[in-house]
Amino acid sequence: MGKNVLVIEDEPNIIEAISFILSRDGWTVATHSNGHDAVGVVTAALPDVVILDVMLPGKNGYDILRELREAELTKGIPVLMLTAKGQVKDREMAARAGASRFMTKPFSNAEVLDAVRELVVGEQQAQ
Amino acid sequence: MSDRPNIPFLERQSYRRRRLIDTVRMVPVVGAVLWAVPLLWPTPEDGAGSVASSDAIIYIFLVWFALVLLGAWFAFLMKRSDAQEEGGGR
Amino acid sequence: MGALNILVGVCLIYVAFLFAVAFGAERAALNGKGGWLRSPLIYTLSLSIYCTAWTFYGAVGYAARSGLEYLTIYIGPSLVVIGWWWLLRKLVRIGRSQRITSIADLISSRYGKSNMLAVGVTILAVVGTTPYIALQLQSVTVSFGVFSDAYGAELTEINHGNNALLVACGLALFTIVFGTRNLDANERHHGVVMAIAVEAIVKLFALLAVGAFVVWGVAGGVSDIFERIDASKIGQWDMRGDRWATLIFLSAAAFLCLPRMFQVMVVENEDEDHLRTASWAFPLYLMVMSLFVVPIAVVGLDMMPPGANPDFFVLTVPLATGNDGLAMLSFLGGFSSATSMVIVAALALSTMVSNHIVMPIWLSAQSGGATVSGDVRHVVLLSRRISIAAVVFLGYLYFRLSGGGAALASIGLISFAGVAQFLPVLIGGIFWRGATRTGAFVGLSVGFLIWAYTLLLPSFGTGTLIGTAVLTEGPFGLGWLRPQAFFGITGMDPLVHAIFWSMLLNTLSFFIASLVGFPSPLERLQGAQFVNVFEHSRTPQSWSGSLAQSEDLMVMAQRIIGAREAQRLFEREARRQGLSGLVPEPSPDFLAVLERELAGSVGAATAHAMIGQIVGGASVSVEDLMAVADETAQMMEYSSRLEAKSEEQARTARQLRQANEKLTQISEQKDAFLSQVSHELRTPMTSIRAFSEILRDSDRLSAKEKVRYSSIIHDEAIRLTRLLDDLLDLSVLENGQVSLNEQTGVLGDVLDHALSSALTGNQTVELRVMRDLLSEKVTLTTDLDRLSQVFINLIGNAQKYCDAPTPKLHISVQYGQGQLVIDFIDNGSGISKADQAVIFEKFARTGEQKVSGAGLGLAICREIMTRLGGSVDYLPGQGGAAFRVILPQSAALAAQ
């Protein structure tokens, strides 16, 4: 399908795993590994889907997402949030920040793939 | 003194006690009034028509005796009410 | 002469009997067997000292002269006692709660513990009582004279005088022996009280015997005696109404104010409940005492020659009919009446004189006041004894000087009128909080001046102390000031006149002066105490005792109330304060108690002054004044108690809130910790799961890919294991369950081992370690494995986080000031200020981490060092990241 996915995650091994899974499915995967300039990277790349980790060095995922949702350019981009803290309140915070999907680590590869696909389809339908 | 708060069903008792104290207070007043009665007795210069000493003695001592009896009776009642208060008030 | 000797013999036996009774009572009380001494009956009988020789002899004479008027003297007290709930109850309660020793003490205590007032009352009481004591002495000698006349023995004036002196000496001796056994006036005088109770029975029995003899022996029974009465010169009711009412009032007032009555009624009172019995028993006693007075008088008037002294009909009627035995009984009755009165009066007056006149003078004569050396106790006792002798002797002197002329009854009434002047001050003091010392002083002065001017001076006879001209035309010709016709109101009975004006002006001036003046704080305090005695029978705190020295107080108290008593008191108070020793804190409470104890011995004013000397000035605090503040006193007390309570509740709430905050904080920390652990566990698991699925699901993986992904899974599994190890390690360390394995080794070897362990990983950039091997030759005795663990962690951190192009780690060792210091300093960019604060926290991870780590390492290091008795800290300002490990001296044996 040639769609772009941006993975913002600080764990190199997880980046590698997600990249592998999505590339194999035909996605174009870009990665970024810190929170400081994540918003800038998203704004510049304007990917079809963003996979965003919560615990990032520099700036946490919620803050990044909130900024993305506030900006005209990025507010429509579907965002899949990943977190290693599987508590209920994290899910709520993600929803409030404007996450399209929320997944708890560890996840199965198929789940991530399905989630990303659905997000893109949903996006297209919405448009 | 004994004005400590009582449990409700003793209320009547302490009420009685208050009225008993009122009565005790009244005894000397009654006595004073009765003993003031001789002030009304005539004391004419010539002695005619005045009260005889024997009658006066009888009157004054009867009052006295009555007061003693009343005092003793109320003292007894007070003692009993004290005892009750101490026995049942706790 | 023989009968006279028998009389003397009986008298002596009777006196010996009284001594024995008193002695026995004292012994019984001492042995704790005195229960029966404290019966309401004894109390009632002791009140009978109201009936003196004046009653025993004088009442008959009074009746013979003035008919039923004598009854007024007994009706007044009967009303007072029957109305005990109004007044006596309060007096007794005040007397007990304030440890009042006399009426002078009561008045002085009420009006701000003023000694001046006490002195005034004492002097007036002595002036009022001395003629009365003289009267008693006179009655004894005259009755003795009556006997000797009857037996034809010639007694000269000298004999009379000697008899009186003998009686006076005997009474003084008795009073001294049984009245000053205990110093504390509130320690009841069981001996004295018992003796006067016995005498009360004797005099009642004697008078009843004479009365019965007269009614059924001389006259022909009750109806005959009534006929005789009506036929006699006192057969008609011929009573002036004003005298009737005034005399009832006067006797009632005197009953309350007579020092001796105050003594038996208030001071010697054992138990408030005794009043309840006395309330009817004492009127009964008075009634019986006065029952036969008129019959005896009438029979006496019939039988005796016209010139006979009616005052002694009680004696002369039995004698004239030849009943010597009855006469002797009668004499004993009179003797009992006289002696009991003198004993108690002397006791009461001597307490007053000693406490309010002698002791203050003695104390002020001693330059150092209460703190001078010497046993004050002996001084007080001596002063009491001398006072007793002086009071009795004064009575004797009055008797000799007056020549025993005036009729007994008139002396009695004058004396009554004198002491009745205390009444407004007394009543005002216990019922009206507005009464002030100035008011009391003015009222008493006015009352006594008028009493002396209108009653006392004229009583000595016209032309002796007060001139005839003054009597008829007034002083300096001022007619409106005639002693017996104030403001020109003539025709009033002189006695009624005197009582009316003295009481009226006394009360009025007392009232007005009280209204005008302003009371001192102490007065107001005492006023509240007296008036509201039933609401709070506790003395308020009037001392701020912080300055007081307990030892000084002890020394003083021992001198006054005796060593044993004082020690007992102090010990009791110390226990009450919850202290184990003998000496209590000089708290206001304790000082108030002590003052009251001392007041029992030396009177309120002196006790107050003595404590004041030691404590350093009487101080009534603002809070005390608050307690006085008019009607709101109790309310304020209540509300302050509520305030204290609510403050306490607030404090508890605060503590609870703090505890709750702490718990919440701990709970939050626990949540955060769990969340962290979850995060740290899930992160490697994510990688493991993802790559294991990839390996499972993809069959087109290259061999190289397979190896790579497997090794990722392997590394992450190790990471997980390490994390779990660290967690367990930390848990063990934090719970203090770790057992240290102490070994002895050299620091250098430990560092060698740590370096080799930490630097095994095939790192891209090699860390250069610089050491000073010489300084590391320190022998250590500690858990070397744990210490090594710390070193490994620190070296590992340097290796992981040092971001310099050529990373270097400098390890330096210093030994000194009782500790061994090992620094690990790298040449990286170091740790930011904000991070320095948290790096030792669990899961603290700083900045951008290239290398994965659970973030537990430094937390574990810190725990370990704490266990080893040392510390590990970040050392700022060293150019790079720097950690300082400190070991205590005990661990480092010696530098070699």
Give the pLDDT confidence of B45-55 residue by residue, as tens digits.
Answer: 666 667 788 88
Same domain, C744 and C728: no
In a domain, A27, yes or no: yes
Same domain, C312 and C333: yes
**Which has the closest alpha carbon to A29: A37, A21, A19, A39?**
A19
In a domain, C453, yes or no: no
pLDDT beyond 60 at B6: no
Q: Which residues of C touch A (CB under 8 A)?
A: 675, 678-683, 685-691, 693-694, 697-698, 712, 715-716, 847-849, 852
Which has more confidence, C834 or C435? C435
Q: C799-810: per-residue pLDDT in tens?
A: 888 888 888 888
- pLDDT at position C147 is 78
How buried is C31 (Cβ within 10 angstroms: 0-12 exposed, 13-18 middle, 19+ buried)?
A: exposed
Rounded average pLDDT over C502-527: 86
- pLDDT at position C874 is 84
Q: Which domain holds residue A43?
A: 4-120
Rounded average pLDDT over B73-81: 85
Contact C68 B39 (CB under 8 A): no
Same domain, C611 and C692: no
**Which has the closest alpha carbon to C541: C599, C598, C593?**
C593
Same domain, C773 and C886: yes
Q: C760-794: per-residue pLDDT in tens?
A: 765 667 788 888 888 888 888 888 888 888 898 88
**Boundary (domain end) residue, out of C581, C599, C628:** C628
Which has more confidence, B30 or A121? B30
The DSSP bridge pattern shows strands A28-32 and A49-53 to be unpaired
pLDDT beyond 50 at C631: no
The proportion of chain C whose per-residue pLDDT surpasses 70, expressed as a percent, equals 79
In a domain, A127, yes or no: no
Same domain, C606 and C642: no
pTM for the full model? 0.61
In a domain, C108, yes or no: no
Interface pTM, i.e. ipTM: 0.90
Rounded average pLDDT over A99-107: 86
Angle between helices C857-867 and C784-801 (to 10 degrees): 150
Helical H segments across C213-238, by residue range: 222-231
Same domain, C720 and C761: no
By Cβ distance, the residue of A14, A57, A84 closest to C847 is A57
Q: Is A11 on the interface with C (CB under 8 A)?
A: yes
Which has more confidence, A21 or A2? A21
Same domain, C688 and C563: no
Helix (H) or strand (E) holding C710: helix C703-734
pLDDT beyond 60 at C428: yes
Contact C79 B72 (CB under 8 A): no
Cα R_g (chain B), whole angstroms = 20
Dihedral angle of Cα A15, A19, A22, A23, to the nearest 10 degrees: 180
Q: Which phi and psi angles does C518 have, rounded to 5°?
A: -125, 125
Least confident of A74-83, C135-144, C161-170, C202-211: C161-170
CB-based touch A/B (3+ pairs, under 8 A): no
Residues of chain A found within 8 Å of residue C694, distances taken between Cβ atoms: 17, 20-21, 109
pLDDT beyond 50 at C847: no
pLDDT beyond 50 at C896: no
pLDDT beyond 50 at C545: no
- pLDDT at position C75 is 92
Mean residue pLDDT of chain C comes to 79
- pLDDT at position C202 is 92
Which strands form C743-746's sheet, in the order they lie side by side? C743-746, C778-782, C892-895
Chains in contact with A, where contact means 3 or more Cβ–Cβ distances below 8 Å, are: C
Rounded average pLDDT over C610-628: 50
**Residue C871 CA, distance from chain mean position:** 59
| Tally of structural domains, chain A | 1
Which strands form C808-816's sheet, in the order they lie side by side? C768-771, C808-816, C819-826, C882-888, C871-874
Q: Rounded distance, CA A65 to CA A94, Å?
A: 9
Q: Which domain holds residue C772?
A: 740-895
| Tally of structural domains, chain C | 4
| pLDDT class of C204 with cuts at 50, 70, 90 | very high
Hey, how many other C-beta atoms are within 10 angstroms of the C-beta on A77?
22
pLDDT beyond 50 at C629: no
In a domain, C822, yes or no: yes
Which has more confidence, C615 or B79? B79
Cα end-to-end span (Å), chain A: 17
By Cβ distance, the residue of A11, A87, A106 closest to C689 is A106
Same domain, C226 and C354: yes
pLDDT beyond 90 at C504: yes
In a domain, C224, yes or no: yes
Same domain, C570 and C697: no
pLDDT beyond 50 at C845: yes
The DSSP bridge pattern shows strands A28-32 and A4-8 to be parallel
Same domain, C770 and C699: no
If you write DSSP's letter for every residue of C441-471 in order, what string do you get? HHHHHHHHHHHIIIIIHHHT-BTTTB-HHHH
Which has more confidence, C861 or C846? C861
The proportion of chain B whose per-residue pLDDT surpasses 70, expressed as a percent, equals 72
Cis peptide before C259 (omega within 30 of 0): no
Which has more confidence, C559 or B78? B78
The proportion of chain C whose per-residue pLDDT surpasses 90, expressed as a percent, equals 8
The proportion of chain A whose per-residue pLDDT surpasses 70, expressed as a percent, equals 94
